[in-house]
Amino acid sequence: MEDNKSDEEPRVVKSVSESRKGASGSEEDALSSEDRSLMPDKESTPDKESTDEEPFVCEVKRSAKRAPGSVPEGEPIIEVINVKKSYTLGDMEVLILHEINLTVREGDFLAIMGPSGSGKSTLMNLIGFLDRPTEGKIIIKGRDVNKLSDKEIARLRGMEIGFIFQTFNLIPRLNALENVELPTYANARPGVDSHKKARELLKLVGLEDRMHHKPSELSGGQSQRVAIARALINDPSILLADEPTGNLDSKTGCEILNMFTKLNEEGRTIVMITHDPDIAKYADRVVLVKDGIIQNQNNSESGIQNQNNSESGIQNQNNSESE
């Protein structure tokens, strides 16, 4: 690859786990140059004759306008204040989250990282209004969720938040175009042609020739692209992604994360749940959650280092106990 200076600088991270292969084609002629920047780079396709068994390395290009790891200077868009979450099982109360305090600013790319059972997915459900806190407040764009009715919460969630899940959550009997358009049936922006916008978004993610394919006819990577298009249909200010590359192979996962990077640089606020340090490196900031407590909030490099140090300490303790 030719080494030349431009307004973009590469960030290199290791691959995600390889479990399924995904690929998608696209017709780029109808897209603007800005739209094409979201699509996978065809030149990055590995040489079929290569016998190199080294791990796939994902290269991400970020604008030089904001250095990786920096915290955006935008206004707070999500505020989690002294939040506790517990569930009642019979006569026993199980505390999941303890006194959580977190601020996400406009334009932030935040990774919430932690092991399975740490409470990170519960935290995302609270941020996305899929659940209510037992104690404390969650404020979205200046609005206290506790003071909103269920109807108001549903409306706010539908217009301001786009969800992207590990398992895609596409409706099997609907084709790609219908799946993307689905959120507009309950929450449509006035004056917007939802059908036309759904088609434009599928072109944007490189699936112009898969619009009428059902989920069973799509690869994992293509299904996740449909899910991303669906998350964008109502033009939300916040994207919540729960393990978005967990079911994808390395190359496809890299393409999806490149899309997230581009969307973030265009102004979207992204909160991504992951247990994988190699994925968290894409974010500007990492919040470590363990046993329902936020242990620290740092830029991506130092946050991941603290996570690694913590895991190393636990491993050393286990080794000592086994002896």
For the chain, state the CA radius of gyration. Answer: 20
Q: What is the pLDDT of residue 54?
A: 63
Q: For residue 204, count other CB atoms closer than 10 A to its CB.
A: 22
Per CATH, domain 109-120+149-284+295-322 is 3.40.50.300: yes
Q: What is the pLDDT of residue 71?
A: 59
Q: Give the tens place of pLDDT for each residue, 125-174.
A: 999 999 999 999 999 999 999 999 999 999 999 999 999 998 999 999 99
One-letter amino acid of 71: V
Residue 224: enclosing H or E segment and its boundaries?
helix 220-232
3-state secondary structure of 237: coil
Q: For residue 76, count other CB atoms closer than 10 A to its CB.
A: 14
pLDDT in tens, the chain (323 residues): 445 544 545 554 444 444 444 444 444 444 444 455 555 554 444 444 444 556 677 777 676 555 555 556 789 999 999 999 999 998 999 999 999 999 999 999 999 999 988 999 999 999 999 999 999 999 999 999 999 999 999 999 999 999 999 899 999 999 999 999 999 988 877 888 999 999 999 999 999 999 999 999 999 999 999 999 999 999 999 999 999 988 888 888 888 899 999 999 999 999 999 988 888 988 999 999 999 999 887 765 544 555 555 444 434 444 444 44
The pTM assigned to this predicted structure is 0.73
Largest Cα–Cα distance in the chain?
A: 69
Q: Are strands 285-290 and 109-113 parallel, antiparallel or unpaired?
A: parallel
Q: What is the pLDDT of residue 116?
A: 87
The domain limits of the chain are 109-120+149-284+295-322
Q: What is the pLDDT of residue 315?
A: 45
3-state secondary structure of 212: coil
DSSP annotation string for 114-126: --TTSSHHHHHHH
Q: What is the pLDDT of residue 73?
A: 72
Q: What is the pLDDT of residue 55?
A: 66
